[in-house]
């Protein structure tokens, strides 16, 4: 749903990260949304920070998919930039893991939606580069949204094999897989997973390898 935010009031803090703080907000029309508040660096890294923000906004403004958080617009106030986004009520998968013992049925449904979102991105030659539970949001109706595109890139503009962007402990699976296949290694499958989960991953790996092999040969240079 396309919306335009003109005037708004900030509410409670929802979370924070390396790219800013997220708050709940209400517009003058009465609908609720999330606002990402980013301090614009005035120092030596100012231009790099601004370029990264502009890139994130440019990507978000292109997306229209049920499994990707919706972008509503931006606003600027002195040294702060505000990015208006769809409010996803239940927070991240990381926070849900703290509240609930998620069953295979939950994981299966969430994974299906995550993959739909990733297919949408990859069809547009865009790689997220920071897929992790903290960047996957869940709505009260069970819908899942990919969020935080601060590190996302168009795949034709970077050499993915040399890219190590992303969170240290949660390197994006598509990047990790590229390193693995480059060394002709099979990604490990944890034994503690259920038989169904291991079977799912086993079936996914050959498809992922074929995807990566095809991409590298179609795009040998950035």
**Which residues are marked as active site?**
130
Q: Is 36 annotated as a binding residue?
A: yes
- Structure-token pair, residue 47: 């231009």
DSSP per-residue letters across the chain: ------SEEEEEEEEEETTEEEEEEEETTS-EEEEEEEEPP-STTHHHHHHHHHHHHHHHTT---TTBPPEEEEEEETTEEEEEE---TT-BHHHHHHH----HHHHHHHHHHHHHHHHHHHTTTEE-S--SGGGEEE-TTS-EEE---TT-EEGGGS-GGG---SBTTB--HHHHHHHHHHTT-PPP--TTS-HHHHHHHHHHHHHHHHHHHHHHHH-S--
Question: What does DSSP say about strands 144-146 and 136-138: parallel, antiparallel, or unpaired?
Answer: antiparallel
- Report which of 59, 40, 48 is spatially closest to residue 152, judged by C-alpha positions: 59
- Structure-token pair, residue 190: 């944890």
Beta bridge partners of 83: 36, 74
Known binding-site residue numbers: 36
Binding-site residues for ATP: 36
């Amino acid at each position: 749903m396309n919306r335009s935010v003109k005037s708004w009031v900030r509410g409670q803090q929802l979370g924070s990260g390396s790219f800013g703080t997220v708050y709940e907000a209400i517009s003058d029309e009465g609908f609720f949304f999330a606002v990402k508040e980013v301090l614009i660096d005035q120092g030596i890294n100012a231009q790099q920070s601004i370029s990264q923000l502009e890139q994130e906004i440019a990507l978000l403004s292109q997306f229209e998919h049920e499994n990707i958080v919706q972008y509503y617009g931006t606003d600027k106030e002195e040294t702060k930039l505000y990015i208006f986004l769809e409010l996803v009520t239940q927070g991240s998968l990381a926070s849900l893991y703290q509240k609930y013992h998620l069953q295979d049925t939950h994981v299966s449904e969430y994974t299906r939606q995550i993959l739909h979102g990733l297919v949408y991105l990859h069809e547009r030659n865009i790689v997220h580069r920071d897929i992790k539970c903290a960047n996957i949001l869940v709505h009260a109706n069970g819908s899942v949204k990919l969020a935080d595109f601060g590190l996302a890139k168009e795949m034709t503009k970077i050499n993915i094999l040399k890219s190590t962007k992303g969170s240290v402990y949660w390197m994006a699976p598509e990047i990790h897989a590229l390193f693995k296949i480059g060394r002709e290694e099979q990604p490990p499958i944890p034994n503690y997973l259920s038989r169904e989960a291991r079977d799912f991953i086993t079936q996914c790996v050959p498809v992922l390898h074929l995807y990566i092999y095809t991409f590298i040969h179609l795009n040998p240079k950035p």
